[in-house]
């Protein structure tokens, strides 16, 4: 589903729930049909008997995708190879294998209260 919002079309959206945080990966297009990715962290906070969301967003442009992916993979490999204990690494690998068998959530599953611009 493509939504028009402020001259930007949302092409694809994926949500990752992680405890009190939710991460959104959204692909959008510009008016000139160029593409970029927004990565948004939303953290649910409780204040004054109400919930609010603290949000942080990164804009990643297509010309930087390869460099970003390489740096992210290098960083994850460093943590796995140099910083985690054998027990923590085994648990992470178990979780990764478990995750491979879970279908990904897409835009249709995103809660309206957590979508924003």
pLDDT computed for residue 67 by the predictor: 97
Buried b (16+ CB within 10 A) or exposed e, 87-105: eeeeeeeeeeeeeeeeeee
Average pLDDT over residues 94-113: 64
pLDDT computed for residue 48 by the predictor: 84
Q: Which fold is adopted by the domain 3-114?
A: Nuclear Transport Factor 2; Chain: A, (3.10.450)
With 50 as the cut, is the pLDDT of residue 106 above it? no
**Using an 8 Å Cβ cutoff, are 26 and 37 in contact?**
yes
Query: Residue ranges of the domains in the chain?
Result: 3-114
Sign of CA dihedral 77, 57, 21, 100: negative
Q: What angle do CA 105, 111, 112 make, to 5 degrees?
A: 140
Question: Tell me: the pLDDT tens digits for 13-59?
Answer: 999 999 889 999 999 998 898 999 999 999 998 888 888 899 999 99
């Amino acid at each position: 589903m493509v939504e028009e919002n402020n001259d930007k079309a949302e092409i694809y959206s994926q949500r990752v729930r992680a405890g009190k945080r939710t991460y959104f990966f959204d692909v959008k297009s510009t008016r000139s049909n160029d593409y970029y990715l927004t990565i948004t962290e939303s953290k649910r906070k409780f204040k004054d008997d109400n919930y609010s969301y603290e949000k942080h967003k990164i804009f990643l442009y297509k010309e930087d995708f390869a460099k970003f992916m390489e740096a992210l993979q290098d960083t994850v490999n460093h943590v796995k190879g140099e910083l985690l204990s054998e027990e923590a690494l085994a648990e992470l690998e178990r979780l990764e294998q478990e995750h491979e068998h879970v279908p990904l959530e897409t835009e249709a599953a995103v809660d309206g209260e957590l979508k924003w611009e």
